[in-house]
Amino acid sequence: VNNPPALAYIGVGSNIRPDENVTKALGLLADTPGIILAGISTFYRTAPLSDPNNSGSGPQDELEDLDPDFLNGVLEIRTTLSSEALLTCLEEIERSLGRVRPGNRYAPRTIDLDLLLFGIEKEDGPNPDWEAIGPSAYVAHSDIGRRSFVAHPLLELDPDLMLPPHGMPIRAMAASFDTPGGKSEDAFSRGLRSRFLPEPYRTELQGA
C-alpha cells in the first residue's frame, strides 16, 4: 500500500542576498526526492526583527539598522518523508547554502527553513492529523502566532486552516496582527511559482 503523502508547511526567511538564496532553496527543495512543492505564498520584504532582550532606545537602534531586510514567505509541500527526515533535509539545504549558526539566533542568515506544521490528510475529514515535530515536539511552530509574515502567507495558502492543538482558525490568527508584516513582492513570488510549482498546483489563486 502507498502511504498517503504528508502535508507540510515550511517558513522561509533570508537576509543575506535574499532573492538569490530563496530562489536557490526552492530549487533544492523541488529537486529533493520525496518532496513536491504544492504551494508558494506571496513573499514579503520585512524589516529585521531584533533580539527582544537587546532592544530599547540608544545605540542598539543604530546597530539594528545595519541588519539587511528579510524576504519571508511560506511553502506548502507534499512529502513521503517522515517529519524527522524532512527536518534533516531542511538543515542540509540550509548548510549547503552557507548557513552558519553563530551563538546569536538573530544573526543574519543566508537561509532559514522552519518546519511550521506536518500532518497526514484524512480521506474523509477536513483537518489533517497533525504530528509532533522534532525534539521540542511542537505541533504548530510558535512563529505562526508571533510573526505576521508567517501567519499571513499561511492564510493565503490555506484560508480554512485550523491550527493545532486547539483548532484556532488561521483567519483569526492572521487578523490579530495589525500590519501585513512587510512589502509584498508580487512579481518575485509569481516568478517562483512559474519556475517551481508543478502543473497541477499552478492555480489561478497562485497567480501563475
Residues that bind ligand PH2 (CB under 6 A): 13, 46-49, 70, 72, 105-106, 112
Closest approach of ligand PH2 to the CB of residue 53, in Å: 12
Q: How many CB atoms lie within 10 A of CB 193?
A: 20
Q: Which is nearer to Mg ion, 114 or 156 (CB)?
A: 114
CA dihedral 193, 197, 201, 207 (to 10 degrees): 10
DSSP-derived secondary structure letter, 47? P
Measure the CA angle with vertex 141, ends 26 and 40; round to 5°.
30
79 binds, among Mg ion, ligand PH2, none (CB under 5 to 8 A by kind): none
Q: Choosing from 51, 61, 112, 171, which is the catalytic residue?
A: 112
Closest approach of ligand PH2 to the CB of residue 101, in Å: 11
185 binds, among Mg ion, ligand PH2, none (CB under 5 to 8 A by kind): none
Q: How many CB atoms lie within 10 A of CB 17?
A: 16
Q: Choosing from 45, 105, 114, 202, which is the catalytic residue?
A: 114
Candidates 12, 40, 114, 153; binder of Mg ion (CB under 5 A) is 114
The helix (run of H) or strand (run of E) holding residue 141 is none
Q: How many CB atoms lie within 10 A of CB 91?
A: 12
Closest approach of ligand PH2 to the CB of residue 150, in Å: 8
101 tagged catalytic: no
Stretch of residues binding Mg ion (CB under 5 A), selected from 54-62, 63-71, 108-116, 186-194: 108-116
180 binds, among ligand PH2, Mg ion, none (CB under 5 to 8 A by kind): none
Closest approach of ligand PH2 to the CB of residue 95, in Å: 16
DSSP-derived secondary structure letter, 57? S
99 tagged catalytic: yes
Q: Give the contacts of 41 (CB within 8 A, at least 6 positions apart).
A: 73, 74, 75, 153, 154, 156, 157, 189
CA dihedral 135, 139, 145, 151 (to 10 degrees): 110
Binding site for Mg ion (CB under 5 A): 112, 114
The catalytic residues are 99, 109, 112, 114
